[in-house]
Amino acid sequence: MTARLRRLIDELADAFWLFPAMLVLAGVLGALALVGLDRSGLVPGWMLEEWFYNGGATGARTLLGTVASSIIGVAGTVFSIMIAALSLAAGQMGPRLLRNFTKDRGNQFTLGVFLGTFCYALIVLRSVRTAAEGAFIPHLSLTVAILLAFVCVATLVYFVGHMAGRINVDTVIELVSDEIQSAIRRLTTEQRRDQVLPAGFCEDRTVIVDPRQGYLQHLDERGLADWAAEHNTSIRMLVRPGHFVFQGAPIAVMSNPVEGAAAAIQNATALGPQRVSSADLEFAVRQLVEVAVRALSPGINDPHTAMSAIDRLGAALCELVPRHLPSGISCRDGRPVMFVPHVQYEGLLNVMFHMIRQNASANAAVLIRILEVLTAVVGVERDPARLTCLEVHADLVAGDARRNLSTPADLRDVDRRHEAFLVMLREGPPGPLGHLDAAWAETNGHRARTKSRADNAE
Instruction: Name the superfamily (CATH) of residues 169-344.
Output: Pyrimidine nucleoside phosphorylase-like, C-terminal domain (3.90.1170.30)
Per-domain residue ranges of the chain: 2-167, 169-344, 360-452
Closest CA to 397 of 376, 417, 423: 417
The predicted pLDDT at position 365 comes to 94
Contact (CB, 8 A) for 62 and 68: no
The predicted pLDDT at position 447 comes to 44
CA separation for the pair 235, 269 (Å, rounded): 14
Closest CA to 219 of 232, 237, 201, 246: 237
CA separation for the pair 403, 372 (Å, rounded): 20
Measured on CA atoms in the order 188, 194, 195, 196, is the torsion positive or negative?
A: positive
The predicted pLDDT at position 68 comes to 93
Contact (CB, 8 A) for 112 and 20: yes
Measured on CA atoms in the order 78, 106, 151, 12, is the torsion positive or negative?
A: positive
Give the orientation angle of helix 345-359 with respect to helix 303-320, to 10 degrees: 170
Low-confidence residues of the chain: pLDDT under 70: 1, 44-50, 96, 194-195, 198-200, 202-204, 430-458
- H or E stretch at 214: strand 214-219
Distance, C-alpha 295 to centroid of its chain: 19
Mapping DSSP to helix (H, G, I), strand (E, B) and coil, where does residue 189 land?
strand
Pairing of strands 335-339, 244-245: unpaired
Measured on CA atoms in the order 231, 234, 240, 246, is the torsion positive or negative?
A: negative
The predicted pLDDT at position 438 comes to 47
Contact (CB, 8 A) for 234 and 202: yes
The predicted pLDDT at position 292 comes to 93
DSSP string, 220-258: -HHHHHHHHHHTT--EEES--TTPEEPTTSEEEEESS--
Contact (CB, 8 A) for 343 and 325: yes
DSSP state of 17: S
Closest CA to 137 of 39, 66, 9, 269: 39
> Which residues in 165-189 are b (16+ Cβ under 10 Å) and which e?
ebbebeebbebbbebbbebbeebbe
The burial of 406, by beta-carbon neighbours within 10 Å (0-12 exposed, 13-18 middle, 19 or more buried), is given as exposed
Contact (CB, 8 A) for 242 and 280: yes
Q: Please report, to the nearest 10 degrees, the dihedral formed by the alpha carbons of residues 150, 151, 154, 156 taken in order.
A: -100
